[in-house]
Structures are given as structure tokens and as C-alpha cells.
Chains A and B, each alone.
Chain A
Amino acid sequence: MTTRPELRLGGHLAPGIIAVALFVIMAVVFVGAPLGDPVGFDDATAIQNETLQSESPTGDYGSVSANGQTYAVAYNGSEETANVSVANDPGVGVDFREVDTTGDGQSDTVYAISRTSITENIGYLMFAVDSDQRSAPGETFLVAFEIIDMVLVGALVGAVVLARRDEGGEVVAALGLRDSDESPGTSAGQVAADGGTEDGGDN
């Protein structure tokens, strides 16, 4: 009548010692490993240093926080122009966004904002939107995505094939129509509708 799971102890757990031992070893190693502080993702810094550089026409660049996000920016005063480019970094696209810097509820400056999100990049690439901003790292990731796609399709097909089974000499596939269901009441020797047999079994 037990309905809840029970922990079954016994000799069959003996091989598990190996797993425990492995964990102990790994834990000891990891604890003692001389790992420094993680670098993390300080977007603005990285982009400021690596991407925008001084290629902005006015030579003014920096980071700015707005809407809870930190952006890497290059700006040129108040002009809404597209001549802010990030020429040397193919991995980063550029967006333009109006930002309220004075806090008076009015956007007063247009910033050039680099897109750093690879996932976002992949999305653009996948649907061929904004094709002039396509960039190489995004492309390699896209290739990987497509490979995964293939693998998944393969797995699906494999699963379907594996799920085929033999039933009474007949192959039944997971995706097949079960047309082997016999139509009722027509084969010879079966009971006729009136309770007798076809060859006159009522005498």
C-alpha cells in the first residue's frame, strides 16, 4: 500500500562510491584551484575600448546609462546623423537612440549605440534583416545554429524510425496510418448477422 517513494538501500549502491569519490576529487581540486576574479561582462568598458575608439568623426565617445542600461556610445553633438560608424569592429552593429540626458522629459541627444548582443545579432542574421550590419562572428554562430538544427531533425527522424514496431508481422510506424485495422464482419466463416453462420448453421 506504499504510495510514496522509498529510498532503497543496499549493495546495489556500491558502485556509487565511485561517483562520490569523483566528486570529492573534483571538489578538492576546484577549491584549491587558483582561479582569479571573473572578468564578467562590463559592456561599456569593453566596447568603448575595443569598438568605438576614435573613429567617431567628432572624436567624442564614452558610456552612458539610460533606461536602466549602460550603453557604449559615440556621439556628435545634437546632429541626428549616420556618420557615426564603428568601422573596425565587424562584430558590432550600431543603433541610434534618442536619450534624455538632462532629465527634463525631452530627448535631447541622439546617441550611436553599438549592438553587443550576439543573440540579437543571430536573430538579425537569421531573418536577413538589416543585412548591411551583418557581421562575421554572428555568421559563425549562425552556422552552429543550423548544424544543431540538422542534428535535431536527425534525432527526430531517428526517434520516429526507432519507434516503428512489428505487430503481428506488420510494421506499425509512429507516423503511419493504422490502416491495418481490419474491416469488420466480412471474412468467411464469421458469424452472420442473424446469429447463424453463413453455411446455414441454424438447423
Chain B
Amino acid sequence: MAVDTSYYLILSAAVFCTGLFGILTRRNALLFLMSVELMLNAANINLVAFSQYYGNLTGQVFALFTMALAAAEVAVGIGIILVLYRNFEDVDVAEAATMRW
């Protein structure tokens, strides 16, 4: 009755590519953050899937860690977005291009 592992992987790939699509097409920093979350969770799906595939609990625990890291990442990301907004009066990532050459 176990689901074939490749379906998990395809699901994970779909989630990841959705996140990537968001990053590539959106300019709103908040949407960026959400997209990045999607990509992180795609990785989580993979971790859990392979945990089950190998019968090893480590993957699941690692998924937990990833969630914690994601929380931290969101905290930092929100902070960056706040600063971005304060400096540019906007959360458009394309605006913050002044530090290039």
C-alpha cells in the first residue's frame, strides 16, 4: 500500500519548481519569501520520502530541523524586507540595485 517513492519525488519537484517559478517571475519580496519556503518544503518532502524509502528515521528528523531553519530564515528574511521597505519605500526587489557596479 506504500506509495511509490517516485511520486513523492515528482511532487517534491513540482513544489520546488513552483517556488522557483515564483522567484523568477515575481518582484515582490514577500512573494519571494513564500517561494523560498515552498522550495525548502520541497526538500522536506524529499527527506521524508527517502526516510521512508530507506527505513531510516534520520530523514524525518532532518525534516524537522529544516522546518526550524525555515523559521529562522523567514525571521531574517522578514527583517531584510523591513529594511528594504524602509530604504526604498517599496518591497520590489528590482529597486534594490544600487550596490552593483
Q: Do A19 and B72 touch across chains, with their CB atoms under 8 A apart?
A: no
B82 proximal to A (CB < 8 A): yes
Q: How far is the CA of A41 from the CA of B86 in the complex (A)?
A: 51
The number of A-B residue pairs with CB atoms under 8 Å apart is 106
Select A151's contact among B21, B27, B61, B72, beta carbons within 8 Å. Answer: B72
Contacts of B13 in A (CB 8 A): 22-23, 26-27, 30
B95 proximal to A (CB < 8 A): no
Considering the complex, give the chain A residue whose CB is closest to the CB of B18: A19
- With A15-B25, A19-B24, A39-B55 as given contacts, are A154 and B72 in contact (CB-CB < 8 Å)? yes
Contacts of B21 in A (CB 8 A): 16, 19-20
B80 proximal to A (CB < 8 A): yes
Interface residues on B, range: 35 or more
Type the 1/0 row for A148-166, where 1 means its CB is closer than 8 Å to any CB of B.
Answer: 1001101110111111010
A87 proximal to B (CB < 8 A): no
Considering the complex, give the chain B residue whose CB is closest to the CB of A167: B86
Contacts of B57 in A (CB 8 A): 41, 118
Select A144's contact among B17, B18, B61, B79, beta carbons within 8 Å. Answer: B61
**Which residues of A (1-57) have their CB < 8 Å from a CB of B?**
12-13, 15-16, 18-20, 22-23, 26-27, 30-31, 33, 35, 37-42, 46
A124 proximal to B (CB < 8 A): no
B18 to chain A, nearest CB (A): 8
A-B contact pairs, 7 of them (CB 8 A): A23-B14, A39-B55, A46-B55, A151-B72, A154-B72, A161-B79, A165-B82
Q: Report A's interface with B, CB cutoff 8 A.
A: 12-13, 15-16, 18-20, 22-23, 26-27, 30-31, 33, 35, 37-42, 46, 118-119, 141, 144, 148, 151-152, 154-156, 158-163, 165
